[in-house]
């Protein structure tokens, strides 16, 4: 629906990114090798300032992504952002969009019924604005990380429908005009393609998905609205069931703009080499797509073979996006192993991110840079 038009939000930060890109080559020449700075200065040749940086490493993922026509984002851990200066510096400079890892989830924004806690999420939105980044809102309707008052309360289906409507309206209105893309519905499917048994399906029936999109659209007509899930990278029963659902939603004029493919991979499973074929199916429907939560974990300890396989996994995801005309963004689920959700969730696994715990780049980081650099050559 919004695919043909660019929102004011996007236009504003795109302009900011363009300015940054014009400024950066000059800045990096000034602080770069003596040869570059010296020759520019001695000859008085000002052309260097207008020439793209010779050293591609001077560019960030976000800048390389801009040249390739894709936003590069990261999930942000708000405790790390507050406490860890190197983390904050990388989050601010390396990426052109951000996603709150937890602070927009229902349990975080309404732990007590009727009392909203927007502070941490507002802080991230402000951080993004200060750094010319867009924000992916995550997430409105999910079976997980719900407040206790909701899961342990006894509500009739009618009451639950009102509660969900109210939640979506409150949250989307609070951030109105400041969110680029909302993950409206998260993880609605089982791997076999049936709808997941959740408080929402059980009480409201499958129509809760269309309702959620309508309610979100009413609260912020400019935000792009996504359905998001995992294990839908390749062509499989789950992604095919999702395709059938979004086909139906489009036919019913439900305001859905895109499909988010989480991209939580593990090196011990085959990488989804058919991802571009899969994304093409959604592209053909007129939907945008995005990789929303990329990470590639491994059974610990890490070794060189696993670390190379990890680079391949990240590359397969990014290339799938770059090969898809309306794949708009590629977001990693954190950028350093220091704060990864993986060890807490997958026993014995870890090392899933682009940078080590002490912020050293892994081959995966180099692989993404290379893919973006190649895609940006035109």
Does position 186 interact with ligand XIL (CB under 6 A)? The reply is: yes
Closer to ligand XIL by Cβ: residue 25 or 334:
334
Closer to ligand XIL by Cβ: residue 293 or 329:
293
In sequence order, which residues have a C-beta less than 8 Å from that of residue 6 and are 6 or more positions away?
14
Query: Is 171 an active-site residue?
Result: no
Query: Using omega within 30 degrees of 0 as the cis cutoff, is the peptide bond preceding 301 cis?
Result: yes
Identify the residue whose tokens are 């309508």.
Answer: 214
Stretch (H or E) spanning 52: none
220 and 168 in contact (C-beta within 8 Å)? no
Q: Which of 293, 308, 312, 357 is catalytic?
A: 293
171 and 104 in contact (C-beta within 8 Å)? yes
CB of 164 to ligand XIL, least distance (A): 18
Closer to ligand XIL by Cβ: residue 101 or 211:
101
* 89-118 footprint of ligand XIL as x/- string (CB under 6 A): ------------xx----------------
Closer to ligand XIL by Cβ: residue 181 or 262:
262
In sequence order, which residues have a C-beta less than 8 Å from that of residue 378 and are 6 or more positions away?
none
Token digits of residue 297: 């974990």
Query: Is 89 an active-site residue?
Result: no
Number of residues that bind ligand XIL (CB under 6 A): 6
CB of 175 to ligand XIL, least distance (A): 17
Closer to ligand XIL by Cβ: residue 7 or 236:
236
Strands 349-350 and 288-299: antiparallel
Q: Which of 187, 233, 308, 325 is catalytic?
A: 187
Residues 246-285, interacting with ligand XIL (CB under 6 A) = 262
Stretch (H or E) spanning 14: helix 8-31
Q: Among all residues, whose Cβ is closest to ligand XIL?
A: 341
Of the candidates 332, 232, 330, the residue with the CA atom closest to the CA atom of residue 282:
232
Of the candidates 240, 208, 211, 222, the residue with the CA atom closest to the CA atom of residue 176:
222
Distance CA 110, CA 100 (A): 16
The correct pick among 224, 233, 293, 337 for binding ligand XIL (CB under 6 A) is 293
CB of 26 to ligand XIL, least distance (A): 38
Active-site residues: which are they?
Answer: 187, 293
Residues that bind ligand XIL (CB under 6 A): 101-102, 186, 262, 293, 341
């Amino acid at each position: 629906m919004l695919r043909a038009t660019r929102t004011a939000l996007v236009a504003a930060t795109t302009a900011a990114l363009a300015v940054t890109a014009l400024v950066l080559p000059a800045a990096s020449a000034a602080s770069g090798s003596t040869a570059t700075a010296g020759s520019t200065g001695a000859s008085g040749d000002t052309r260097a300032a207008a020439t793209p940086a010779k050293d591609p490493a001077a560019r960030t993922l976000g800048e390389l992504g801009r040249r390739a026509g894709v936003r590069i984002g990261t999930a942000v851990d708000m405790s790390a952002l507050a406490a860890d200066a190197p983390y904050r510096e990388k989050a601010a400079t390396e990426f052109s969009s951000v996603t709150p890892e937890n602070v927009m989830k229902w349990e975080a924004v309404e732990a007590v019924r009727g009392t909203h806690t927007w502070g941490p999420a507002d802080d991230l939105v402000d951080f993004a604005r200060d750094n010319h980044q867009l924000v992916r809102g995550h997430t409105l309707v999910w079976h997980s990380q719900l407040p206790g008052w909701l899961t342990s309360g006894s509500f009739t289906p009618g009451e639950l429908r009102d509660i969900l409507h109210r939640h979506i309206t409150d949250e989307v209105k609070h951030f109105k005009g400041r969110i680029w893309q909302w993950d409206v519905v998260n993880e609605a499917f089982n791997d076999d393609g049936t709808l997941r048994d959740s408080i929402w399906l059980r009480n409201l029936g499958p129509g809760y998905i269309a309702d959620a999109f309508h309610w979100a659209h009413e609260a912020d007509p400019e935000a792009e609205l996504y359905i998001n899930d995992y294990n839908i990278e390749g062509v499989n029963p789950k992604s095919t069931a999702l395709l059938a659902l979004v086909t139906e939603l489009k036919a019913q004029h439900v305001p859905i703009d895109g499909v988010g493919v989480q991209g939580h991979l593990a090196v011990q499973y085959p990488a989804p080499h058919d991802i571009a074929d899969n994304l093409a199916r959604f592209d053909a429907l007129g939907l945008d797509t995005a990789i929303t939560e990329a990470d590639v974990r491994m059974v610990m300890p890490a070794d060189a073979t696993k670390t190379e396989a990890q680079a391949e996994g990240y590359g397969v995801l990014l290339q799938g996006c770059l090969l898809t005309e309306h794949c708009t963004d590629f977001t990693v689920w954190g950028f350093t192993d220091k704060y990864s959700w993986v060890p807490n969730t997958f026993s014995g696994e870890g090392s899933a991110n682009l940078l080590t715990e002490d912020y050293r780049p892994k081959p995966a980081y180099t692989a993404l840079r290379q893919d973006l650099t190649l895609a940006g050559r035109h």
